[in-house]
Structures are given as C-alpha cells and as structure tokens.
Amino acid sequence: MRRILSQAWIAVVMIFSLVSTATWAKNQDASLTVMTSIKPLQLITQELTKNVTNTDVLLANNTSPHDYALKPSDVRKLKSVDLFIWVGPGLESFLEGVLEGSNNTLQLDQSEQIDKIVYDQHDEHGHEAHDHDDGHHHHGNYNPHLWLGPVQAQQMAKVIVDKLSTIDPSHSEQYAQNYAEFTQHLDTTIAEVKQKIEPVKNNGYYVFHDAYSYYENYFGLNHLGAFTVSPDRRPGAKSLIAIRNALQTNEVYCVFAEPQFTPAVIDSVTRGTDVNHGVLDPLATEYEAKPGAYFQYLQDLGTSFSQCLTR
C-alpha cells in the first residue's frame, strides 16, 4: 500500500514539475504585445514587427475614428498591451485623456521626426458650415492622415522601430532589418505608383474629405477641393454650389467618395453630369494585416486615381 502511495506521489510531483516547466517556458517565450488605433498604422507596424510578434488593431473594419465611442473593453485592451501606437487626438479624439500618463503608448504626432502638412487659415475656417473651433478633426493645424504620405510613412516607421527597440532590445537587430526591408519595398512601390499616375496627374478632381494631402503633394496630383474638411461635418451650401459649378466645366475628371460614408451628397451634386465616380479609402479597411499589405494599399490608391482620372 505504501509503495502504491509512493508511486502515486512521485507521479503527481512529476506532473506538477512538467506543468510548471511548460508554464515557465510559455512565459519566457511570451511575445511583445503591440496594438495600433487604426488599420493603416497596423499595416505599417506589422511590417516592422514581423518575425517577432503580430500587431493587433483597436478599431474594427468600417469603423471611423472620427465618430468612434470608446468601450470599457477597449480601455482594458489599451492597458494590457506593451505598446499602443496612435496618431494623436487630432485623429482619434476618442482617446484624448484616456491615454494621459500612460507609459506604453507612442503618439506619432508628437514626433519632430515626422513632417506634417500645416493648414493655413483659409483651410481651417473656409467652410461656412463648420464651427470656428472645429480645426480639422480638432487637431489644431495639421493634417493627421500621416500614413498616406510615402515620406511620412518612412519617418513613422523609423519612429516606431526606435520605440520597439527601446522596449524590446533583444530583438533590435530584427527590427532594424525589418525597417531596411520596409524602406526598400517603399522605394519600389513609389516608383511604380509614379509611373501609374504620371499620365493623369494634371487632371482635376474632388474628394469627399480633405484627407489625402500627403499623397497628393508627393505625387503631384491636381486636387481641386473637398466636399468637407472633416467627415463628421456637413458640407456648406456655398461649397456645394462651387463644386456644382466646377462640374459644369470640363476641368473636373472625377469625384471620389469614401466607403465609410454614404455618398448621398456626392450623388446629389454630380447628378446630371458626366464626371467619373471613384472611391478612395483613407482607412484601408479591406486589407488584411499581412506582409506587403501596406504597399499594396499605396498601389491601389494609385490605381484608383489612374482609373478615375482617365476619360
């Protein structure tokens, strides 16, 4: 009987030892947890964390940061990750105050290493339907859609890699390699998009909201205007009349809508004209976070411009 009990006790000890060892190994191998606020930042960051960890995203597909309401479950997620990356309150106003004092966040708009497009006074207040303090998504005086600019994307990638290397120095060499590959792939993508856009870059167009300045400026596109500076603001009557009058000329090739918002106002203004209709997605909602997705996104934006600006 004693022998049986002794053998049983040994078995229990061995099982406990195996479980403890497995748990320790799991904890030792636990990956860095990284999350971004929106899909485009996830696509960029995923390129930089490959072979180390996956990057999660807070906002679901077809969810706009302009009108999102933070849930208690979101707050728990934010507190649980090792690194949370966002642009800043100018874009994700729902996060303002929530992340204050947090040491696990990277706010990109605070970095002096990232070039930003500053709006002038006309851009800020030239739409009579907007409150004078709306300030383009409440961000003060810069365009927060940084991921749409090739230059800004590379600058953001460097800022993100530096942060990753600081909090996870054991993988700093991998992060540096990922950044080098990101830069190389970005250069190739830029060259291909330039070739695609070159024949139509002088053709005029309107966009739903003023999000694409970084992309437009880099590739030299002929942006004529926007229906609204912010998608959560109704376009003013004067703006709509001016766009309607412009559509009567032969200078406007295309009007771009966005998948996150019902294009009723665009349909109304363009009704009876022969202007082309296109779609630009500033949030890359349909892209899976996998290698190469960000570069494909930039390519697809170029294709959208090329196709819609061709008669």
- pLDDT at position 125 is 37
Residues 64 and 178 in one domain: yes
Residues 205 and 188 in one domain: no
Q: Give the whole-angstrom CA distance, residue 120 versus residue 112.
A: 20
The CATH number that applies at residue 235 is 3.40.50.1980
The tokens describing 108, both together, are 């990109």
Residues 149 and 203 in one domain: no
Q: Write down which residue in 193, 217, 242 finishes a domain.
A: 193
Residues 72 and 99 in one domain: yes
Residues 182 and 51 in one domain: yes
Would 6 be classed as within a structural domain?
no
Would 163 be classed as within a structural domain?
yes
Residues 126 and 186 in one domain: yes
Would 297 be classed as within a structural domain?
yes
Q: Tens place of pLDDT for every residue, the chain, 311 residues?
A: 544 444 544 444 344 444 333 333 333 345 899 999 999 999 999 999 999 999 999 998 878 887 898 999 999 999 999 999 999 999 999 998 898 878 899 999 999 999 999 875 444 433 333 333 333 444 458 999 999 999 999 999 999 999 999 999 999 999 999 999 999 999 999 999 999 999 999 999 999 989 999 999 999 999 999 998 777 677 778 888 899 999 988 789 999 999 887 678 888 899 989 999 999 999 999 999 999 999 999 999 999 999 999 98
CA quadruple 150, 152, 158, 160: dihedral sign: negative
Q: Give the whole-angstrom CA distance, residue 36 versus residue 297.
A: 17
In the DSSP assignment, the letter for residue 289 is S
Residues 174 and 88 in one domain: yes
Q: Give the whole-angstrom CA distance, residue 228 versus residue 187.
A: 32
Residues 40 and 183 in one domain: yes
- pLDDT at position 14 is 46
Q: Write down which residue in 177, 193, 209 finishes a domain.
A: 193
Would 19 be classed as within a structural domain?
no
Q: Write down which residue in 193, 208, 224 finishes a domain.
A: 193
Would 12 be classed as within a structural domain?
no
Would 64 be classed as within a structural domain?
yes
Residues 155 and 276 in one domain: no
Residues 89 and 169 in one domain: yes
- Asked if residue 255 lies in contact with residue 275, where contact means CB atoms within 8 angstroms, the answer is yes
Would 274 be classed as within a structural domain?
yes
Where in the sequence is the domain holding 290, given as residue range(s)? Answer: 199-308
CA 40 from centre of chain: 3
- pLDDT at position 72 is 93
The tokens describing 97, both together, are 């105050």
Residues 244 and 98 in one domain: no
- pLDDT at position 7 is 52
Residues 300 and 232 in one domain: yes
Q: How many domains does the chain have?
A: 2
> How many Å is the Cα radius of gyration of the chain?
24
Give φ, ψ of 252 to 5 degrees.
Answer: -100, 120
- pLDDT at position 122 is 41
